[in-house]
Amino acid sequence: MSGGSVSDVHWVLHVDLDEFLAAVEVLRNPDLAGKPVVVGGRGDPTERGVVSTASYAARAFGVRSGMPLRVAARKIPDAVFLPVDADVYNAVSQQVMDTLRGLGVTVEVLGWDEAFLGVETDDPDEFAALVRRSVLDATRLHCSVGIGDNRLRAKIATGFGKPQGQFTLTRDNWFAVMGDLGAGALWGIGSKTAKKLDALGIRTVRELAAASVDDMASRFGPKTGPWLVGLGRGAGSAEVSDEPWVARSHSREMTFQHNLTDWLEVAEHVRRLAERVTEDIRAEHRPGVRVEVKVRYAPFTTHTTSHALPDPTSDPSVISAAAVSLLERFDQERQVRLVGVRVEMVDGR
């Protein structure tokens, strides 16, 4: 690897900023403090769009990230809805990450509002407290910190520390804390996988950890099955890298305010999105190798399909033609509420 270092650390800390986007908006307008604030889309709940972040006051009413803005508005009609202001969030996030790097540890940025830290210390609790104080002093933002002996445990621990706190999860207390929780409490297991596990009688983390690796491999595949059992046992890497993240792909998507029924119009939108994505990959000087198209039918069912390009290319006509051709694989009798195009690029490392 070049341009970065990797550290096998004794402790992994996961730092997660509390209600980040909403908290930044409160800093910009202190009158919003304590109010239900919902950040998402263009800030108009009558339009189609999803919640990016909700303040804790809004979450008390059941509003969650990824929820349609219209649903959020039904839950809290008098909430403050604000548009996503990416430039401001990027600037604040950079300030947070620079603060973490100033602590002399390896910092692996995961997104606007979270990072893993690789820390050599005899007192991880005190170091986590230092992290929280340092971020608050530098940005006036609160964060929560998960302390673990690997990445998985640190990530999960953060949830127990929220808000404005810290929690330690290691091999020693893994089953005491996690054993009786549902398998869906594990980082990496979504609702679909949890339902599949439930159908097999595997409902808790402890039951997943005790499952037969061979049986799970036969049911979920030779890689996924053993990996799931490992999650149940809290297994994971303790490696934290400060090497800059390199995108594998670029994507663009568009949500329509009214469902489209004319698939010629759908094709035209796909063509334009493909051209925009091509501009993105050309800016990185990395040609595309695979094109994927996503279609969300009304009311809310999403399908994707993809194929490899014959040769790596940054030609917008080739990429857009490939994207449009993929529409033949979709049910063109159905109405469309969203389309997206993603292009995978040659390896940038």
Whole-number Å distance between alpha carbons of 22 and 221: 41
292 carries an active-site annotation: no
Coil, strand or helix at 140: coil
Whole-number Å distance between alpha carbons of 258 and 32: 32
Q: In this structure, what DSSP letter does residue 300 have?
A: T
- What's the farthest any 2 CA atoms get from each other in the chain? 64
**How many CB atoms sit inside 10 A of residue 348's CB?**
10
Would you say how long the chain is, in residues? 349
Catalytic residue among 114, 126, 268, 328: 114
Contacts by 66-74 with C-beta closer than 8 Å and gap 24+?
69/38, 69/40, 69/41, 69/44, 69/45, 70/45, 70/46, 72/38, 72/40, 72/45, 73/45, 73/46
Whole-number Å distance between alpha carbons of 289 and 346: 6
**Do the bridges between strand 80-82 and strand 37-39 make them parallel or antiparallel, or are there none, so unpaired?**
parallel
CA neighbours within 13 Å on the CB side: how many for 99? 24
The residues carrying an active-site annotation are: 114
